[in-house]
Amino acid sequence: MIRAGLRSAMILTVLGATGLVWASSPSVSAPPEPPRNVTAVDKPYDGGGTVNISWEASPSADVKAYEVFSHQLAPESVQIAEGAAAENDAVESETRDLLESEGVAPEDADREAEERAGDVATSPIIVSKWESLGIVDAEQRTYTAEALDKFTPYVFMVRAINEANESSADSNQTAPVVPSYAFFDLGKLPLLCFLILICGAVFLFVILARQGMPMKIRTIAGLKAVDEAVGRATEMGRSILYINGIQDMDDLQTVAGVTVLGRVAKTAADYDAKIEVPTSRSLVMTAARETVQSSYFTAGRPDAYNPDLIYYVTDEQFGFVAYVAGMMTREKPAACFYMGAFFAESLILAETGNSVGAIQIAGTASPAQLPFFVAACDYTLIGEEFFAASAYLSGQPDQLGSLKGQDIGKLVVGVIILVGVVIATLMTLSAPAIGDAPSAFHQGFSAAFDFLVNTVLGS
């Protein structure tokens, strides 16, 4: 009997031990415990819609990640309306299906289902919906929720996820937080600093220019050739064609093109050459007419101004270029100016101009079209040269000063690029081998890189 008892005890012990082993094997693990003390705070001094969520780690050892959830607390009336609408939809759909199964025509079934759904009194239903914001590694204890509605409160909770991809129960819900905006978005402070720096540089050089400081601007061949082009047109007795791009006045390239048009028109008025300006937008036509008229008045040739030479063609890109290409082939202008925003039609215009033997000067800030203009035109103003054209042609100290200020901006950008490249290179060179802890140097370079990319350049 004692032996039987001992044997039973041994069996029970073995079974118990086996059970323990079995229970602690990964295939039968329990879900982890939820994280604790989850709190949410509206991010201060931001543009709104951002909340910082933090929590304490889950006591479970095998947590591999945390999943963060939000729930928008819409005003009660909105919740009731949403709930009622959902219930109405359900009634309407059921009614429609029933009627159609009975042979009622679909349009009649729709009408009747709508009427019946409207008659049904619905009880308010609170629509509760937790939305997953994202999953972070187990080492992280914070999460920044962005792009939230700025005017309604939210609550948040976090779940832990273990190696077996089991989720914990919900953590505590945070108190409601409204992700409102501050008076000033501090995240944009670096951008404001750049703005002040560049605008300040422009102001400074404008003031210095007004005080008589000489402003040396390098020669831009395309702009020097304007007089040559207009003179050629006068000698040959043919017209000048000026295309202001195909965008509207809300594009700065078009505005820049109109300012250059003013200068070219003045030269044309001085030389008594005919300048024709077909436009792709009505507002551009209006602005161009004002500009050309004013240029003719300034040149003392108001009688020579003909508003019919500045006209609207069509908004459609290829319709416009078809008209202009046909006109160029028939009238064979001696000089063609392409100043503004262009797209695919740039090569068609430039090649057609080349085929009729015109001297061509182009200027655009559309990088994709620059290669076509460079290949097909005699002179091309690339990017910022085009924006500098108005200042260059006017020769006014104010405007030349602004070009100098712009150069300061380029210097700042160059310095930042250099600093960024050096930091990124040093960060890569000081990276630890796999498995080693990062050195202080690497941590420092990483922090600097992160600050430069995410804070300074990310604003």
Partner 1 sequence: MINLLSNLDRRWIFLAMGLCVGIPILVIGITGKTLPETPTPLAEAFFNEVDVAGESKGRRGHLLMAFDYDPASAGELSPMAISAVHQAAQRGHRMYFISLWPVGPRMIDESISKVIDRHYPDLVYGEDYVNLGFKAGNEQVIKVMGVDLTTEFRTDTKGTPLAEIPMMKGITSLEDFDLIVEVSAGYPGTKEWVLYAATQYEIPMVSGMTGVQAPLMYPYYPGQLKGLLGAIKGAAEYESLVNDWILDDGFRTALIEGGMSEEDAGPLAEEFARDPGQVSTWVEGAQAAADLTPESKAKLIDLATGTIPGEFLEGQRRMGPQLFAHLLMVLLIILGNVIFFAQRRSGGRS
Partner 2 sequence: MQVLTRSIPLLITGLAGLVMILSAFFPYTSDWGKTAGQFFNILAAFAFVLGGGNLLKIHLKKVSDQSEGWGYSGVILVCFIATLVVGLGKIGVYPSADHPNVRLSGETQGTGSAFWWAYEYVFKPLTATMFSMLAFYVASAAFRAFRAKNFEAILLLGTAFIILLGRTFAGVLVTGWIDPEGPFGGLRLEELSVYVMQVFNTAGNRAIMIGIALGIASTSLKILLGIDRSFLGSGD
Amino acid identity of residue 261, one-letter, is L
State in angstroms the smallest separation of the CB of 250 from partner 2. 5
Q: Which helix (H) or strand (E) holds 442?
A: helix 440-450
**What tokens appear for 409 in the block?**
């901006």
**What tokens appear for 272 in the block?**
């008594």
| Beta carbon nearer to partner 1, 207 or 368 | 368
DSSP state of 156: E
| Cβ-contact 131, 71 below 8 angstroms | yes
| Beta carbon nearer to partner 2, 56 or 146 | 146
State in angstroms the smallest separation of the CB of 317 from partner 1. 7
**What tokens appear for 320 in the block?**
């416009």
Amino acid identity of residue 162, one-letter, is N
Is 140 a binder of partner 1 (CB under 8 A)? no
| Beta carbon nearer to partner 2, 53 or 313 | 313
CA-based R_g, the chain, Å = 36
State in angstroms the smallest separation of the CB of 314 from partner 2. 8
CA distance 19 to 37: 35
| Cβ-contact 152, 74 below 8 angstroms | yes
State in angstroms the smallest separation of the CB of 174 from partner 2. 23
Sheet arrangement for strand 142-145? 36-42, 51-56, 142-145
Is 318 a binder of partner 1 (CB under 8 A)? yes
Residues numbered 145 to 164 that lie near partner 1 (CB under 8 A) are 146-147
How many residues bind to partner 1 according to rule CB under 8 A?
12
Residues numbered 358 to 377 that lie near partner 1 (CB under 8 A) are 367-369
Q: Residue 117 binds what, of partner 1, partner 2, none (CB under 5 to 8 Å, by partner type)? A: none
| Beta carbon nearer to partner 1, 213 or 374 | 374
| Beta carbon nearer to partner 1, 96 or 404 | 96
| Beta carbon nearer to partner 2, 129 or 210 | 210
Q: Residue 80 binds what, of partner 1, partner 2, none (CB under 5 to 8 Å, by partner type)? A: none
| Cβ-contact 177, 42 below 8 angstroms | yes
DSSP state of 275: E
State in angstroms the smallest separation of the CB of 22 from partner 1. 29
| Cβ-contact 391, 384 below 8 angstroms | no
Binding site for partner 1 (CB under 8 A): 85, 132, 146-147, 317-318, 343-344, 355, 367-369
